[in-house]
Structure 1
Amino acid sequence: MSTPSGPPGAGTPPPAAPAKVAPAEGRRGPGRPPRLNRELIVAAAAEIDPEALTLQAVADRLGVDRKAINYHIPGRDELLALVAARSLVAELGQLVLPLDDWPQATRVFATGLRAALLSSNSLSLYVSTLPSAGVLRPADQLLHALLGAGFDDAAAGRALTLICAAVFEDARAELLARRFGQHPTEVASRRVLAELPDEALPTIRRVFATSHWSRPDSLDFYLETIVSGLTRWLEQHRQD
C-alpha cells in the first residue's frame, strides 16, 4: 500500500543553523566595541624595544588585530610619544621643587627633566611638549614658585615655555650625538664648510672647530642666561 505523498520536503528536518563562534579574546567582531584601552596598549608597547616598536608588534603581543590598536592610536610616532611620556611620568612624578626660591626651583626642574629625557633614551626624541599629569605636576610647582616671586601669569607661562624649550633642545642634542656620534647639524655644517674655500666663513669655522652641540655644561649656560634675564625682567617690573 502506498502512503500519501506530502508537500516537498515534508518530514525532513530543517538544516541546523551554523554554530556561532565567539571572537577570539581581545579581537573585535562586527559591531563589537573594542575591549582595549590606550593605557593597556601603551603598557604593552613599553615592553618592546623602541627600535622594534610598531603597531603590529603591539597587536601581536596583545593577541589582537592591528585595527584594534589603530582604533586608539593612529600611528607609530604617536605610540612612541605615549611610551616616552609614560617613562617621563615615572621619572618626574616625585620631583619636588623649592617653592620659596624660584631660581633654584628652575634649576631643579630643568635638571630633573633633562635626566628623565636622557634616561628614556631615543624615545625622548619623540617628545616635544610636556605630556600628561605626571609631568605637569613639577611644572605646576615651578609656576607656583615663579608666581610667588612676583611674576604675573603671562610671564610665568612664558618662562616655563622657555625653560622647557632649552631643556628639550639640550637633551635632544645629547641623544642625537649618542645615536649618530655627532649632532646631525654639526655634521651637515662641517660638510658644507669642507666644500667652500678655506678662507670662507672664518668665524663659523672657528666656533665649529670644537664640538659644542652636546657639551655637559650646555644646560648650565642656558639656565644661567634664562635666570639672569628673568631676574632683570622681575626687577624692572617691580619698579613700574
Structure 2
Amino acid sequence: MAAARAIAPEDLTMQAVADALGVDRTSLHYYVGDRDGLLELLVTDLFEAELRRTELPEDGSWPEVLHAYATAIHRGVLNVHTTGAHFRLRGTGSLALAERVLKSLTEAGFGVDDAGRILTLVSGIAMSAAHDLLGGEQSKLRQHPEVARALNEVAQGEFPLLGDVVANRAAADAAADDFEFSLDVVIAGLQQKLAGA
C-alpha cells in the first residue's frame, strides 16, 4: 500500500508498483490479483486511514456517537473520492468504531439486532449522500435529473410543487444538505422509538 500510495493515480499500474517494490509483477499478481484488486485495496486503505482519525465522543449520548460515526463514514467516502459502494474491511479501526456505536446504542436501550440495523442504516445514508456529492452513477439519490426530464414532457405547471423541488435542488447545492437532513430524521425517529419502548 505504501508503494501504491507513492504513485500518482494516473500512473498506477501493477508494473509500476512491482518496480517500486523491486519485485517481479507476477509476484504482485499473487497478492492482489489485478489492477482492480490493487485499486480496491488502495481505496480500502485510504478509507481505513480516514476512520482511524475519527474519535467518537467518549461521554456523548447515543445520538452524538451515532452522528459522529455517520459523519466519519461520509467524510471517509468523500476524502477517498470514490463512488464504489463497497470497501473490504481490514484491520480493527472500522470494527472498533462500529463496536463503540453498538455499545452506545445497546446501553441506551436498543436491542442488539436493532442496534445492528441502525448501524447499517446510518452507514448507508452516509455513503449514499457522499456518492451523490461525488456524482456517482450508483447513488440512490440521483433521481432528480430523471424527474426533471419527465416534468419537461408534461404541461408546464401541471405539477407545481414537484417542479419547485426540482428547480430548488438544481439551483442550490441541495445534495450537501441531504446527509444532515436524513441523519436528523433518522435520529429523531429513533428517539421516538426508544421513548415509546
**TM-score past 0.5 threshold:** yes
Distance 1:184 1:227, change over 3 A: closer
Aligned to 1:103: 63
Distance 1:187 1:62, change over 3 A: farther
Aligned to 1:163: 122
For structure 1, which segment, 157-166 or 51-60, has the greater mean C-alpha deviation from structure 2 after superposition?
A: 51-60
Any residues of structure 2 matched to 1:1-240 within 5 Å, and which? 42-100=1-59, 101-121=61-81, 124-129=82-87, 131-132=89-90, 133-176=92-135, 186-187=144-145, 189-191=147-149, 193-194=151-152, 196-199=153-156, 202=159, 204-211=162-169, 215-237=175-197
Distance 1:74 1:228, change over 3 A: same
Q: Distance in 2 between matches of 1:83 and 1:141?
A: 25
- Partner of 1:72, secondary structure, is helix
Aligned residues between the structures: 189
For structure 2, the residue ranges without an aligned partner over 5 or more in a row are none
Q: Distance in 2 between matches of 1:189 and 1:166?
A: 21
Preserved contact between residue 48 and residue 93 of structure 2 (Cα < 8 Å): yes
Query: How far 1:159 moved relative to its partner?
Result: 0.4
1:78-107 CA-to-partner distances (Å, cap 9, x unmatched) read 322221221222222142223551001111
Query: How far 1:186 moved relative to its partner?
Result: 4.5
Using the aligned pairs only, state the percent identity. Answer: 32
What do you get for the CA RMSD once the two structures are aligned? 2.9
Q: Distance in 1 between matches of 2:88 and 2:178?
A: 21
Considering fraction of residues, name the structure with more helix: 2
Q: Distance in 2 between matches of 1:152 and 1:82?
A: 34
Query: How far 1:70 moved relative to its partner?
Result: 1.9
Query: How far 1:139 moved relative to its partner?
Result: 1.6
Q: Mark the structure with the bigger radius of gyration.
A: 1
1:125-154 CA-to-partner distances (Å, cap 9, x unmatched) read 235247222222222211111111011110
TM-score (norm. length: structure 1)? 0.66
Distance 1:206 1:130, change over 3 A: farther
Q: Distance in 2 between matches of 1:219 and 1:79?
A: 30
- Partner of 1:125, secondary structure, is coil
Preserved contact between residue 102 and residue 119 of structure 2 (Cα < 8 Å): yes
